[in-house]
Chain A
């Protein structure tokens, strides 16, 4: 590599060093201030860009959910249960446990999503339990954990909020998922 010759680039002069009259420190201060301002401006500018980028990538609010009609109270007798699929494809089990609809827990709606890591549980009739194939989790008919990691962590199947409006049983379901998109093409 050749050094560029001085006559093209111009001589480098270190002006600061050659000032004997005290303007050196003032100049030093100004240069310092300029440097700090420059760095601050760059940081603020690019920082803003990064913050916007992160907020862009973070998911925006989507449909929070809604109350959905399940059945009339007479459709579900004490001791009975029925499957329910939300528009977004989440599968629930809704069961009636008491005669008096006003009683606490007369109705329960259990999610089929395993509270451990989100796989789908299924009802094993012969074992009378919900089984999760991902890490061998199991739950009883009330959704209480009886085996596997959910048992170790004491996680039950999620209960969906239910509401009785007159003679109608309503369930709160969260917003849209992927299954709508897929089911269109999943023939």
Chain B
């Protein structure tokens, strides 16, 4: 045994102590609450997406004449295909939901403030990539709503000033949805965006290690208890527990509410009721409220403001002399987000 150890030590000259030092960031106690450890959830779900996504790619075909049929094959004929596809779909839903919740907790605890502004910006890039991945993934099924959703989205891009028409051409590979469009969505969904997400996550987590997570203190914490615990093994165990619970949840959702097939894309008929995926309900409702240019420019403005929020926040504090000004903005934004989403969900048109 010791000879084996020595053999390994000689070839991989890393010491247990070094490993421990590398992983053993002391973690503040509040991360024992799930609400504060939410950042790990999208990371875990991302791994689920990579695994199930690779499995689906064994059968998926990205040509418009074969795409819908290949998804139908996965769903109805391939053994456990329905399970793999449903896992992929539900993990996508939960991933987007947990990114949003994670961002809300960062926002409401003002954890983006100096010196963590850049990590907020990286986080915004992660949010954008995650939403884009969701959008391109939905397009791959090539059912009616996939097709018309993509058409509408490309034309929204067209309305963006200056770069919009370039963006539309790059997305659709032409003026309209054509036979070269779907392969684009596929390569974006399965290669370009996931790689980008992995790189961004690496930077995101490096920043967290460099700064440590924001220290928060709560009244119910007694002052004589230690206020930190070890990342390894304590926090890792927390994350593993969350991972197991998620896996059970995903399996249950996939079994009870499996992914289904809508009618195949038909470019000649727009369905009577057209809706995007739930995470775009907000922007869909917004589009119906205003003319296109107003909707597009205001959306662009809101996203830009979200990106530079840490600096807007500083300005707000200086102007209002109130440390918590951002909380009020956040509450209004949250109500707007929920309100518009629910509104779009309950009406047909």
Instruction: Say if the beta carbon of B24 comes within 8 Å of chain A.
Output: no
B179, A181: Cβ atoms closer than 8 Å: yes
Contact with A along B160-193 (1 / 0, CB 8 A): 0000001001101111111111000000000000
Instruction: Say if the beta carbon of B5 comes within 8 Å of chain A.
Output: no
Name the one of A62, A149, A182 contacting B287, with C-beta atoms under 8 angstroms. A149
Contact with A along B248-270 (1 / 0, CB 8 A): 00000000000000001111111
Tell me the complex Cα distance, A118–B175, Å: 11
Contact with B along A104-145 (1 / 0, CB 8 A): 000000000000111111100000000011111000000000
Tell me the complex Cα distance, A127–B203, Å: 57
Size band of the interface chain B makes with A:
35 or more
B170, A134: Cβ atoms closer than 8 Å: no
A117, B174: Cβ atoms closer than 8 Å: no
Given contacts A133-B273, A153-B292, A185-B65, contact A118 B151 (CB under 8 A): yes
Instruction: Say if the beta carbon of B320 comes within 8 Å of chain A.
Output: no
Give chain A residues whose Cβ lies under 8 Å from the Cβ of B152.
Answer: 117-119, 134
Give chain A residues whose Cβ lies under 8 Å from the Cβ of B295.
Answer: 149
A119, B174: Cβ atoms closer than 8 Å: no
Given contacts A117-B156, A149-B288, A176-B178, contact A59 B169 (CB under 8 A): yes
A134, B267: Cβ atoms closer than 8 Å: no
Count chain A CB atoms within 10 A of each CB in B166, B269, B270 and give the residue with the most.
Answer: B270
Count chain A CB atoms within 10 A of each CB in B151, B272, B294 and give the residue with the most.
Answer: B151
B170, A181: Cβ atoms closer than 8 Å: no
Give chain A residues whose Cβ lies under 8 Å from the Cβ of B331.
Answer: none
Q: How many residues of A contact B (CB 8 A)?
A: 33
A118, B155: Cβ atoms closer than 8 Å: yes
Least CB distance from A2 to B in Å reads 9
Name the one of B174, B271, B293 contacting A153, with C-beta atoms under 8 angstroms. B293
Give chain A residues whose Cβ lies under 8 Å from the Cβ of B267.
Answer: 89, 177-179, 182
B176, A178: Cβ atoms closer than 8 Å: yes
Least CB distance from A58 to B in Å reads 6
Instruction: Say if the beta carbon of A102 comes within 8 Å of chain B.
Output: no
A184, B274: Cβ atoms closer than 8 Å: no
Instruction: Say if the beta carbon of A159 comes within 8 Å of chain B.
Output: no
Given contacts A58-B169, A133-B349, contact A178 B156 (CB under 8 A): no
Name the one of A59, A119, A177, A186 contacting B148, with C-beta atoms under 8 angstroms. A119
Tell me the complex Cα distance, A54–B156, Å: 21
Given contacts A62-B174, A119-B151, contact A149 B292 (CB under 8 A): yes
Given contacts A117-B155, A133-B349, A134-B270, contact A178 B290 (CB under 8 A): no
Instruction: Say if the beta carbon of A57 comes within 8 Å of chain B.
Output: yes
B290, A149: Cβ atoms closer than 8 Å: yes
A133, B64: Cβ atoms closer than 8 Å: no
A182, B180: Cβ atoms closer than 8 Å: no
Give chain A residues whose Cβ lies under 8 Å from the Cβ of B64.
Answer: 178, 181-182
A57, B170: Cβ atoms closer than 8 Å: yes
Instruction: Say if the beta carbon of B222 comes within 8 Å of chain A.
Output: no
Instruction: Say if the beta carbon of A152 comes within 8 Å of chain B.
Output: yes
Name the one of A148, A153, A179, A184 contacting B268, with C-beta atoms under 8 angstroms. A179
Instruction: Say if the beta carbon of B291 comes within 8 Å of chain A.
Output: yes
Tell me the complex Cα distance, A184–B31, Å: 57
A residues adjacent to B (C-beta < 8 A): 57-59, 62, 85, 89, 91, 116-122, 132-136, 148-149, 152-153, 174, 176-179, 181-182, 184-186
B residues adjacent to A (C-beta < 8 A): 64-66, 69, 148, 151-152, 154-156, 166, 169-170, 172-181, 264-274, 287-288, 290-295, 349
13 contacts between A and B (CB under 8 A): A57-B173, A58-B170, A62-B178, A89-B267, A117-B152, A117-B287, A118-B154, A118-B155, A119-B270, A132-B270, A134-B148, A135-B288, A177-B267
